[in-house]
Amino acid sequence: MSLADIIQANDQYHRWIEESVDRAKKDKKYQKDLEQAWQEKISALEYRSLPTELEIPLIALPHFDHPAQIARYLGEWGFPGEFPYGLSIYPKAFLIVDNQREHEEPTRIFAGLGSPEMTHERFRYIVKQQQSKRLSTAFDTNTLLGRSADNPDYFFDIGEGGVSVTTYQDVLTLYDGFFEDDVSISMTINGPSLWMTAARLQAAQERGQNLAKVRGTSQTDPCKEDDAQNELLFPLGPSIKIAMDMFEWCSLHAPLYYPINVSGYHIEQKGATPIQQAAFTLANGFVYVDEALQRGMNINTIGKRLPFFFTSGMDFEYIALLSAVRRVWAVALRDAYGADDLNAQKLKAHVQTSGRSLYEKEIQNNISRTALELFYALLNYPQALHSNSYDEPITTPTEDAVRIASDTQAILFEEMGGFKDMMAYLSDSSGRREAYHRIIHGILDYFREIDQLGGTLQAKADGFFRDEISQSSSGYDQQVHSGERRIIGVNRYSEGRKESRTVSRVEVSGEVKRKRVDDVRRFKEQRDPKKVKMGIQKLQEAASSGENVFEVTMAIVKEVTLDEWTHALQEVYGMYRRKI
């Protein structure tokens, strides 16, 4: 499918809304139908009594004087849980009914530092604080670039900023005790994602878990790596190819697992405006849809297995960014791709507050920033949410800061009246409506431009995405620098402020690093070299002949380490060329 088809589907949908509004102004029968449908919604409303004894409905429905308004509301937004999912993909989302939520609270806390043992410890601490068991893993640079912890050239990087993983044993240690059906593990990893996912799935099996029940997410978004992070191991083409190998394999064998997470977050962190984030991420999503279709996968299966990841920041657009993205996606999936399973039309999104919006100066102000970004995010009803710790500008989050971050979410969810009491209580506010329409428009404009450049992949090869992002990035920088963009305590009201340096940095000691080297060496020495050699050979054969590389990775991951896997495939595919 080309972006032109997707633009056309969205344009057509837009026209359909206008036509049905027009009809609702003239056509008496249509008016009756609309009024009746609306009446049904209102009669079905449940009510609740708040602790203050105020009676309110569970869903906030607007008051309409004319059926044309109903037509517009249903067309533009849809009732919560209904097409085009402008308000929410679920009808109840975060409501607390009978002291329970239909969907578990969306909190996810990121962790990863030093050795697998250290991070494992941290996971246990986090799980104790949460109702649901959701783990989120950060890896160190060595791991993300497919290097072994025993590579002496990169000794300094071991365990910095994330956990160091090189061997199958490391994965067993890292998630020990968490290979359970009620635990969801997400892994922020891209280049080496196939190896890591295979190790994680194999480990689950070894610990007696049925693959069909394993839950979690691997990031595996090579497109956004090319746009932003630049941490791929192989050129973009083969990187996408093997990602799709895993996507296809998991759809058959690990159907609850999300092997790809289409991520706008990093695109935004790199400097993209909210609309660029939305447009580029969706364009990337459609690349995966198209690739999966070419393999003969069913569009309904594909749609259900592709979750997204976005930022919520301080810019106004975030009041409705996810809503707009959901609508463009739903219309494309239903009308351009023909997905008739409603679940395939619903874009599921994890949202994280913006790390870029946090500053070192007056560092505790970051708590307020994060809280407000959470609020913007929640107005869009995401499926999962991560709040940054206020000390992230200077360190891997400390325990205190992590607690504040997750408490902030709980305060919004459970303490504050609003999300827990009434669904969609601000959803079609006039401010959100303005943002929503402008964002949809902006996304489609970008699609047109990308389409003219020969489609998403060609536009990437020619540097279009990166150039756009980098322009926005310098613009943003300039705004902060000149004070046009006001940052409180940083470029505004900053005179006489002292540097706040109350937090201390989390350190990875030389001892931990040396132990990592020893552990990895020992693992490597204890293997049967023949098996390793054969495994690597099988992998390279599969890669050269176009077979499913993930399937082979599953078969060899217990022997072949991350760095060996990386080298073997680089010999076939070549290395990724970072763009400037």
Partner 1 sequence: MKSNDGHDAAILVIADALKQGGIEVILGGYDLTVDKFVDAIIQEGVHFAGISSYNGGHVPFFKAVRDALKKKNYPYIHLIGGGGATLTPEDIEILEQQEGIDKIFRAGERDSVLPYVNEHFDFSVVPEEPEALLEGVKTGDELALSKLINLAEEKARLDSLIEDHRNTVHHEENKNRATSLPDQSYWEEIGGERGILKTIERYKKCLSTLDNLVRERPSRVFGITGRGGSGKSTITDELILRFFKDGRMENKKVAVISIDPSSAGSGGALLADRIGYIYATDKNWVDTRRIFIRSVASRGYGQGIARALPDIVKILKAGGYDIFIESYGIGQPDIGVTRVADQSIFVTTPDVGGAQQIEKEDMLNIPGVVVVLNKSEHRGSRHISSLLRKKVPSERLFLTTAIEHRNPGINSLYQSLTQHLN
Per-residue interface string for the shown chain with partner 1, residues 163-202, x marking contact by CB under 8 A: ----------------------------------------
The answer to whether 235 contacts partner 1 (rule: CB under 8 A) is yes
Is the backbone of residue 489 left (phi > 0), alpha (psi -120 to 50) or beta? left
For 10, other C-beta atoms within 10 Å of its C-beta total 24
Q: Which range in 25-33, 388-396, 456-464, 501-509 contacts ligand GDP by CB under 6 A?
A: 456-464
Q: Residue 134 or residue 270: which is nearer to partner 1 going by CB?
A: 270
Query: 3-state class of 429 per DSSP?
Result: coil
Q: Residue 473 or residue 548: which is nearer to partner 1 going by CB?
A: 473
The answer to whether 271 contacts partner 1 (rule: CB under 8 A) is yes
| Nearest distance in Å: CB 509, partner 1 | 11
The answer to whether 461 contacts partner 1 (rule: CB under 8 A) is yes
Count of residues engaged in binding partner 1, rule: CB under 8 A = 41
Q: How far apart are CA 224 and CA 284, in angstroms?
A: 7
The answer to whether 578 contacts ligand GDP (rule: CB under 6 A) is no
3-state secondary structure 504-534: CCCCCCHHHHHHHHHHHHHHHHCCCHHHHHH
The answer to whether 577 contacts ligand GDP (rule: CB under 6 A) is yes
Q: Which of these, 49, 73, 19, lies nearest to 432 by C-alpha position? A: 73
Q: Which range in 64-72, 91-99, 223-231, 295-303 contacts partner 1 by CB under 8 A?
A: 223-231
- Region 322-381 residues binding partner 1, contact defined as CB under 8 A: 360-361
- Choose among partner 1, ligand GDP, none what residue 431 binds, the Cβ cut-off being 5 to 8 Å by kind: none
Q: Residue 400 or residue 477: which is nearer to partner 1 going by CB?
A: 477
Measure CA 220 to chain center: 11
The answer to whether 453 contacts ligand GDP (rule: CB under 6 A) is no
Q: Which of these, 234, 191, 228, 227, lies nearest to 460 by C-alpha position? A: 227
Q: Which range in 173-181, 225-233, 444-452, 531-539 contacts partner 1 by CB under 8 A?
A: 225-233
The answer to whether 438 contacts partner 1 (rule: CB under 8 A) is no
Is residue 304 within 8 Å of 341, Cβ to Cβ?
yes
Per-residue interface string for the shown chain with partner 1, residues 378-417, x marking contact by CB under 8 A: ---------------xxxx---------------------
Q: Which of these, 301, 440, 553, lies nearest to 7 by C-alpha position? A: 440
Q: How far apart are CA 546 and CA 423, in angstroms?
A: 49
The answer to whether 463 contacts ligand GDP (rule: CB under 6 A) is yes
| Residue 55 burial (10 A CB sphere; 0-12, 13-18, 19+) | exposed
Amino acid identity of residue 80, one-letter, is P
Per-residue interface string for the shown chain with partner 1, residues 539-568, x marking contact by CB under 8 A: ----------------------------x-
Q: Tell me the residue number closest to ligand GDP, measured at CB.
A: 461
Q: Please identify which residue in 35, 82, 160, 290 interacts with partner 1, judged by CB under 8 A.
A: 160
- Choose among ligand GDP, partner 1, none what residue 507 binds, the Cβ cut-off being 5 to 8 Å by kind: partner 1
Per-residue interface string for the shown chain with partner 1, residues 475-504, x marking contact by CB under 8 A: --x-----------------------x---
The answer to whether 303 contacts partner 1 (rule: CB under 8 A) is no
| Nearest distance in Å: CB 152, partner 1 | 9
Q: Please identify which residue in 8, 230, 364, 479 interacts with partner 1, judged by CB under 8 A.
A: 230
Q: Please identify which residue in 1, 461, 490, 532 interacts with ligand GDP, judged by CB under 6 A.
A: 461
Residue 108 has which token pair? 């996810």
Pairing of strands 215-218, 257-258: parallel
- CA distances 75 to 64, 90, 92, 438, 578, Å, are 14, 17, 20, 16, 43
Q: Which range in 186-194, 197-205, 314-322, 569-577 contacts partner 1 by CB under 8 A?
A: 569-577
Q: How far apart are CA 12 and CA 562, in angstroms?
A: 48
Q: Which range in 247-255, 460-468, 483-491, 497-505 contacts ligand GDP by CB under 6 A?
A: 460-468
Strand partners, 137: 111, 187
Q: Residue 305 or residue 460: which is nearer to ligand GDP going by CB?
A: 460
- E strand or H helix at 465: helix 464-482
Backbone angles phi, psi at 554, to 5 degrees: -55, -40
Q: How far apart are CA 556 and CA 536, in angstroms?
A: 8
Query: 3-state class of 72 per DSSP?
Result: helix
Per-residue interface string for the shown chain with ligand GDP, residues 19-38, x marking contact by CB under 6 A: --------------------
The answer to whether 510 contacts ligand GDP (rule: CB under 6 A) is no
Amino acid identity of residue 263, one-letter, is S
Q: How far apart are CA 305 and CA 257, in angstroms?
A: 8
- Helical H segments across 131-208, by residue range: 141-144, 168-174, 193-206
Through-space distance between the first and last CA atoms of the chain, rounded to whole angstroms: 30
For 264, other C-beta atoms within 10 Å of its C-beta total 31
| Nearest distance in Å: CB 462, ligand GDP | 6
| Residue 42 burial (10 A CB sphere; 0-12, 13-18, 19+) | exposed
What residues have CB less than 8 Å from 293, skipping those under 6 apart? 1, 299, 302, 337
Q: Which range in 11-19, 153-161, 210-218, 245-253 contacts partner 1 by CB under 8 A?
A: 153-161
- Choose among ligand GDP, partner 1, none what residue 156 binds, the Cβ cut-off being 5 to 8 Å by kind: partner 1
Q: Please identify which residue in 132, 298, 473, 540 interacts with partner 1, judged by CB under 8 A.
A: 473
| Nearest distance in Å: CB 376, partner 1 | 24
Is residue 349 within 8 Å of 328, Cβ to Cβ?
no
| Nearest distance in Å: CB 427, partner 1 | 35
Q: Residue 108 or residue 270: which is nearer to partner 1 going by CB?
A: 270
CA dihedral 309, 314, 317, 318 (to 10 degrees): 40
Binding residues for ligand GDP, per CB under 6 A? 461-463, 577, 579
Note the residues at the interface with partner 1 (CB under 8 A).
Answer: 140-141, 145, 153-154, 156-158, 160-161, 229-231, 235, 237, 270-271, 360-361, 393-396, 454, 458, 461, 470, 473-474, 477, 501, 505, 507-508, 567, 573-575, 577-578, 580
